[in-house]
Amino acid sequence: MLELRRLSVDDGPEIFQMLQEIPKEENGFGNHANGMSYEAYKEWLAARHQESLREGIQDGWKVPTTTYWLYADGTPVGFGKLRHHLTDALRKAGGHIGYAIAPAYRGKGYGKELLRLLLQKANEMGIKKVLLTIRLNNTASQAVAFANGGIVTDRTDERFLIWIDT
C-alpha cells in the first residue's frame, strides 16, 4: 500500500535514515538533510514545516514549498517537494515539483506513483498545470514525467521543461 504523508515536525528516525540514503545532490534535486546529525535534522524539519506555511517570495526566488514522504507498506521510500507557485527563475530551473526515491527502492515504480500523488496535491492546491525541469541525461525522471502525462514544451542546454495537467 502506498501513502503520501506531509512532513511533520514529529517525523522520526525512519525518515532520518531514508534521507541519509538519498544523495545530497543528484540530477539537480537537493537533499539538504543528507549528512546532518539527528538533532540538526529535527531543526531542519521545523524549518521545512515553516517553509510550507509562509507566503510570498523570499530572496527573490524562494516560494512556499511543502514536503511529502512516500511510504510503501509503512516504510518511507522517497520524498517530494511541491512549490506552491513559480517565479521566473523557477520556470527555467526548479519547476513546481522535485522528487527522489531512495536507491534501494528505485526501478520499482515508486517514482511514477510519487509524482502521481504529488500531482493530486497540486490539484488540491488549485494548481492546474505543473512544471518539471528535468536534466537532459535524467532519463528515469523523464520516463516518470511522461508516464504521468508530461509534455515537453521547451528545452535548454541542460533541461527539458515538461508540463503536466493535474
For position 57, what pLDDT does the model report?
84
Report residue 12 as a C-alpha cell: 522520526
Residue 134 lies in a domain: no
Closest CA to 125 of 71, 82, 67, 63: 82
Share above pLDDT 70 across residues of the chain, in percent, rounded to a whole number: 99
Residue 104 lies in a domain: yes
Residue 129, SS3? strand
Residue 31 lies in a domain: yes
Per residue in 67-104, pLDDT tens?
Answer: 999 999 999 999 999 999 999 989 999 999 999 999 99
Range(s) of the domain holding residue 114:
2-123
- Least confident window among 16-20, 46-50, 88-92, 150-154: 88-92
Residue 149 lies in a domain: no
Residue 11 lies in a domain: yes
